[in-house]
Amino acid sequence: MKVKTLKKTSNELKIEVEGIGHTLCNLLQQRLLKDKRVDLAGYDIPHPLFSNSVIYVRTKGNVKPKEALLKAVEKSREMNEEFRKELEKALKKS
């Protein structure tokens, strides 16, 4: 997986990520939009035959977009871990 910075300002970040699709991008977008410091978050997959996604974050200025994105990644990881634990419990019962 490669990450390339396309745009970086004090309140905007646009990156291209090779090898991820809608699943991860949609999760990150949803986590970013729950952050009150984030003004806008979205993603695009410019061509359906290539798995390069473009993720865009714009913050309200009291946080850098890099920090907001890293927090969204961490929250997603925590959510995944919580799901794994609950799934293991459920599967032990059945």
Domain residues of the chain, as ranges? 3-93
3-93: CATH architecture: 2-Layer Sandwich (3.30)
Are the CB atoms for 40 and 56 separated by under 8 Å?
yes
In the predicted structure, residue 20 carries a pLDDT above the cut 90: no
In the predicted structure, residue 17 carries a pLDDT above the cut 80: yes
pLDDT digits (tens, 9 = 90+) for 26-63: 999 999 999 999 999 999 998 877 779 999 999 997 89
Average pLDDT over residues 6-10: 96
